[in-house]
Amino acid sequence: MSLDLSTYADLMRALSPESALTVGTLLVLMLVAWRHRTLTDLRLAGWATLVSLGVTAALVWWLWWNRTSVEGIAQMIAVDDFRFVTDWIFLGAAALTVLFSFRYLEREQLLAPEYYPLLLFAVLGMMFMGGGEDLMVIFLGLELMSISVYVLAGFNRKSPRAAEAALKYFLLGAFASAFLLYGIALMYGATGTTNLSFIGVQVQSLGLGHMPLFLIGVGLLLVGFGFKVAAVPFHMWAPDVYDGAPTPVTGFMATGVKAAAFAALFRVVIESLGGAGGWPVIIAGLAVATMVGGNLIALAQRSVKRMLAYSSVAHAGYLLVAVVSGGPGSAAFIFYLVAYGITTIAAFALLAAKGKGGESDVRIDDLSGLSTSRPWLAFALTVSMLSLLGFPGTAGFMGKWYILIGAVATGHTTLAIILVLTSVASAGYYLPVVMAMYMKPATHAEAHAGMVFDRIGRVTLAVAVAAMLWFGVAPGRLFELSRTSGASLRAAPAMADEPTPASTTETTSAR
């Protein structure tokens, strides 16, 4: 199905998922304003949120199934498989967060159903980031997502740690947004447009790749995105914010928020920059610093939540390697987003079940003897840790393998070697969790008595663990989908004085 976005009807078809999610969010907001006093009201808002996410996912599927594309160059919103698949990632991360939040909100007495509309507003911003074909659309999506997540980070108003996390995230996020917006302004000044495809054409035709105004704009743009993906040295906010926020929100931030920022970054560099502006060298440097810094600092952590926070920083480095690989790394990029998202949300959900009052005080030794009293939960956490480590037979291993293939294929062998070495080093903080659960006795008989899931949580956790194992042994279908969606991006023309990368083989449809 080909759409002409200059007509109102086709534009509405292209924006039907975002429109449906907007309507659903407003309906949930009205429901919350009407019923907001009891646990039943809280659950009702959660189920209404899942319905909104489901309807939106169905509309995204309808556009994808009909092979929807756009005639000519999209002006504001992309209509391609990359947008549709990343939308599913955002919606899936939000749905998992909602399912794991039911019992957590009730246990922590966070009886404020506004949690769910904020989550929906954040997802709406993510969808505009992943599908934005214009820098201004990406920026507006970023702000909508960020403002919602600022509030979610400090949602537990009884916790001073949560208030500190929200304030720190807000202040540093405002600086990062200013860098990003200033970079957009400079790129507009250099190229005369904010459309991604037109920027690529202008850079190539006018030879702007070495223009100071353009280079400064690219640098500021990368600073803004570097903050949102928590790349070293722009990661200083992540450990404290992840530690202070409610644990389901932390999982959502580490997956959905990060995936949205990476999706926008990937689309910008592929469609606009090509090889101009020296961005591959800059991002390669960020990738090395992030992989090394995230893993080394994580080794020193004894708090499980802070360890997972620094682990998230390290995984941002692995994803940056896929970004550096460009088009050939697009399939690995999307595959890794899926694998990492499922694994991280499951890990944080298990942590949320173990702790209470923010889970910041849960240490690795507190998991001792979990395999004896809660064998299935210990198994789920073991699979999560091994997947984050990249152990063979898990989705995390296949994700890292595909990233390595893309890096080597594009000549970034050094990055591939550093990725392998830092992954080996990460065993120093993932395996102690497994050892504590299986090789150490519990501190007392009732040490894990409160670590339970409700029925919804148990089913969701079982599905997540099954997905980690399934994609570890049968990744073909997901990889094919990732490959076709990555190939749908329109790469910027290569600069006349720069080598053109070898064309990749044509991919077949994953449908």
81-108 pLDDT per residue, tens = 899 999 999 999 999 999 998 888 888 8
Tokens of 485: 């969606």
What pLDDT score does 505 carry? 35
- Residue 508, pLDDT > 60, answer no
- Predicted confidence at residue 501, as pLDDT, reads 40
Write down the pLDDT at residue 13.
Answer: 87
| pLDDT value at residue 327 | 76
With the C-alpha atoms ordered 411, 89, 241, 134, is the resulting torsion angle positive or negative?
A: positive
Can you list the alpha helix ranges (DSSP code H) found in 209-364? 212-228, 238-244, 247-252, 258-268, 279-299, 304-325, 330-354
Rounded to 5°, the CA angle 142-144-146 comes to 65
Tell me the three state secondary structure of residue 3: strand
User: Residue 328: its pLDDT value, please?
Assistant: 77
- Judged by average pLDDT, the poorest of 116-120, 139-143, 352-356, 405-409 is 352-356
| Number of neighbours of residue 393 by Cβ within 10 angstroms | 14
Predicted confidence (pLDDT) at residue 453 exceeds the cutoff of 60:
yes
Residue 344 clears pLDDT 60, i.e. is over it: yes
Q: DSSP letter for 303, please.
A: B
**Could you report the per-residue pLDDT of 39-76, keeping only the tens digit for each?**
888 889 999 999 999 999 999 999 989 888 887 777 78
* The predicted structure's pLDDT at residue 493: 55
Is 50 exceeded by the pLDDT of residue 444? yes
pLDDT of 492 reads 56
pLDDT digits (tens, 9 = 90+) for 244-260: 888 899 999 999 999 99
pLDDT value of position 358: 55
Mean pLDDT in the chain?
Answer: 87
Predicted TM-score (pTM) of the model is: 0.90
Q: Which of 44-58, 262-276, 431-445, 497-511 has the highest mean pLDDT?
A: 44-58
Nearest to 140 by CA among 194, 82, 187: 194
Q: Model confidence at 510, in pLDDT bands (50, 70, 90)?
A: very low
| 407-411: average pLDDT | 89
Tell me the pLDDT tens digit for each residue of 276-288.
667 888 899 999 9
Question: DSSP letters of 348-415?
Answer: HHHHHHH-SSSSTT-BGGGGTTHHHH-HHHHHHHHHHHHHHHT-TTSHHHHHHHHHHHHHHHTT-HHH
pLDDT at 342: 93
147: buried, middle or exposed (CB in 10 Å: 19+, 13-18, 0-12)? middle
High-pLDDT (> 70) share of the chain, %: 94
The pLDDT, as a whole number, for residue 7 is 80
> Band of the pLDDT at 423, cuts 50, 70, 90?
very high
CA distance 367 to 73: 54
Contact yes or no for 489/82 (Cβ under 8 A): yes
Render pLDDT for 290-335 as a digit per residue (tens, 0 to 9): 999 999 999 988 888 889 999 999 999 999 999 998 877 788 999 9
Coil, strand or helix at 77: strand
Which of 17-21, 36-40, 505-509 is predicted least confidently? 505-509
For residue 266, pLDDT over 80 is answered with: yes
pLDDT, tens digit, 9 for 90 and up, residues 469-501:
999 999 988 888 888 888 887 765 554 444 434
